[in-house]
Chains A and B, each alone.
Chain A
Amino acid sequence: MGHSEKASKFVANSERMHWHDKALWFVREKRDLAAHQLDEWEELRRVASEIKSHTMDRLDYYLEEFEKNAKQKGLHIHWARDAREHNEIVLNLLLAHGAKRVVKSKSMLTEECHLNPFLEKNNIEIVDTDLGERIVQLRREAPSHIVLPAIHLKKEEVGKTFEEFLNTQKDNCDPTYLTREARKHLREKFLTADASITGVNFAIAQTGGVVVCTNEGNADIGTSLPKLHIASMGIEKIIPRLEDLSIFTRLLARSATGQPITTYTSHFHAPIEGGELHIIIVDNGRSDILSNSDFKESLHCIRCGACLNTCPVYRRSGGYSYGYIIPGPIGSTLGASRDLQANKTLPFACTLCASCSNVCPSKIGLHNQLYKHRQNVVKAGLLGAKKRAILKVTAWVMKHPLLFDFMGLVVRKIVPILPRSIVYSKANVWGRNRELPKFPKKSFKELYKERIK
């Protein structure tokens, strides 16, 4: 099932679609407000983009630098080619430490590696500790947004889930009440955990440490109690210098939620007393993207979610319509790079409005990438027969100016007098929820010619 088929399920509930759209637009507006408060906003984006480009050009050097400096500080470094190897490393570390209960804070990488089901199969209890992640974990769902995992749910649904799993009061869906109950429930999980797993926002080559940003404090509390901390990072999370964080910490939270900074920005350059900090550097297909000049910039992503919040398609179709771990514009390009066949409809889940590229803090040309992926879909012969036929006919007509003028004339004359049942027949998918504009008497070309006479 492609994006549009899955999206049609979401848009079938029009009230919910508009609610989702509005909730995300609210976040986008907060982002604008925060960005406009800084005169240097565009400069920050330029520098961020240059730091990322520079780093990708010397990625092997910076990764080795990072490893060397991290080891010097007593941290342990592991390398994983793919998801399977990553999961094995995690499991072996947990087994070696006799860890049975693990708390995890948000990491899209561990989602990508399907770590949770793997650990559960090996009899390890793994608890997602970000509130939104915990909600979707209890519901056996995936996050529908990379920063706001439960944005697709209404508070009544969260209330029902908590009633079932946390024994909360019946029909009480007050967000403060539910959050307090989750706090109690997760406190107990933190205090009894044997190990913690976190993602990584930034890994600093120069100092050999990693930085994790959260608002809830779940990564921070989770890593400060059990002796074992495992941090999983994609190879692209590297930044060269500590001072580069002055750029990225200014951009990240403002782009994500309009906050000036996340509540907690933890800099890990040591484990807790008597503990161990293990960092797993994961490739899992990323190095392939590096070789493609059209798409390598997608590795500049700092996972702020701004492109999702601004995307008119994402806002109205929801995260699950994409069918890829990461939804929205950035997910569409990453998914298409990873497996074009499986994700062939994602580059078309886009109006090419370019809003994503305009809000991206590291200036990824997201809409350009999606446009290029579309061409690759066509070249690979993966386009549906109907679309292919329409495009062929359109291209042929457009190559013949006289025919094009004639057809325009015919359409302008005939469509207005046709009965509604024909114009809005089943074939007119576009017209299902929309009215055609009034047809003008003359074409643009005719009007233009009259003007210059």
Chain B
Amino acid sequence: MSSKEAILNRIKKNRPSSTIDLPNTDILHTKYRDKDKKFAMTLKSVGGKAIWLEDNKSVDEFIAENYRDLDIIVSTYSTHNIDTPHLLENVDLAVIKGEFAVAENGAVWIKNPKNRHRALYFLATRLLIIVDKNSICDTMHEAYKLIDFSRAGYGVFISGPSKTADIEQALVIGAHGAIEVCVLFV
């Protein structure tokens, strides 16, 4: 008997016979009057910042103004000709497309099927995540309605910079991943 069969047989023998229906996950939940404000506040509380791009400005101009001194800037559109993720080791700024933002927890959903190396999100010292300003939802209940994994792929929620409190509960921003995270709404 294979281990799979052995395990499944044991489960079948042991599992309870009562059956509780799978509950509805779309429960009555918190909605925010001002989702922009809630998102910005929450992201700030977890160490990141949210900025709304001025109407007459382009993303390039924003980067030129705010990240003037950085050497290596890589975007999710420019990873296709980088052969190994290890080459992204010293990226100063990663410019990433985010699909939508979640007001309740300051997270942004990132999937980018065309990005060749997910390592970009974690190796870069700073993240600039670009999100459509009309794509902020209230909670994870709305968020998971927007996510699809019918096909293989990788996706991640990122909420602020990498952090740890493993030494005496003292919060330190910048554990392994990004030290700075800015979500730019356009």
Contact = CB atoms under 8 A, between A and B. Distances in A.
A23 B154 contact: no
B27 A47 contact: yes
B172 A176 contact: yes
Interface stretch (A184-192, A365-373, A404-412, A424-432): A184-192
B8 A131 contact: no
A276 interface: no
B56 interface: no
A180 B16 contact: no
A74 B140 CA distance: 28
Contacts of B104: 250, 260
B85 A224 contact: yes
Nearest to B156: A266
B150 A207 contact: yes
A176 B145 CA distance: 39
B143 interface: yes
Contacts of A272: 85, 117-119, 154
A183 B174 contact: yes
A89 to B, nearest CB: 9
B107 interface: yes
Nearest to A67: B4
Interface in B35-85: 42, 46, 85
A141 interface: no
B10 A283 contact: yes
A41 B85 CA distance: 41
B90 to A, nearest CB: 10
B46 A224 contact: no
Contacts of B176: 129, 183, 186-187, 190, 216-218, 221
B27 to A, nearest CB: 5
A186 B177 CA distance: 11
A155 interface: yes
Interface string B115-128: 01111011100000
B177 A216 contact: yes
A175 interface: yes
Chain B: interface secondary structure? loop
B135 interface: no
B84 to A, nearest CB: 9
Interface in A204-246: 204, 207, 209, 215-218, 220-221, 224-225, 235, 240-246
Contact of A265 (B6, B22, B46, B157): B157
Contacts of B105: 260-261
B6 A57 contact: no
A51 interface: yes
Contacts of A305: none
B133 interface: no
A331 interface: no
Contacts of B144: 242-243, 245-246
Contact of A53 (B20, B149, B172): B20
Contacts of B145: 243
A260 B102 CA distance: 11
B152 A73 contact: yes
B122 A47 contact: no
Contact of B166 (A131, A187, A191, A267): A131
Given A43-B28, A225-B119, A261 B107 contact: yes
Given A74-B152, A149-B166, A60 B25 contact: no
A265 B2 CA distance: 33
A151 B15 CA distance: 36
B29 to A, nearest CB: 5
A363 B164 CA distance: 28
Interface string B6-18: 1110111111111
A349 interface: no
Given A58-B15, A244-B25, A263 B172 contact: no
A213 B156 CA distance: 10
B157 to A, nearest CB: 4
A115 interface: no
A260 B3 contact: no
Contacts of B134: none
Given A175-B172, A187-B176, A293-B16, A79 B166 contact: no
Contacts of A257: 165
A180 to B, nearest CB: 7
A176 to B, nearest CB: 5
A169 to B, nearest CB: 15
Interface string B161-186: 11111111110101111100000000
B32 to A, nearest CB: 11
A283 B11 CA distance: 9
Interface of B: 2-4, 6-8, 10-30, 42, 46, 85-86, 89, 102, 104-107, 116-119, 121-123, 139-141, 143-145, 147, 149-170, 172, 174-178
17 contacts: A23-B169, A43-B27, A47-B23, A64-B8, A80-B3, A151-B169, A180-B174, A191-B86, A217-B178, A243-B144, A246-B139, A263-B46, A267-B154, A269-B153, A287-B11, A290-B14, A291-B14
Given A50-B20, A215-B175, A225-B86, 5 more contacts: A81-B3, A153-B167, A220-B121, A261-B106, A283-B7
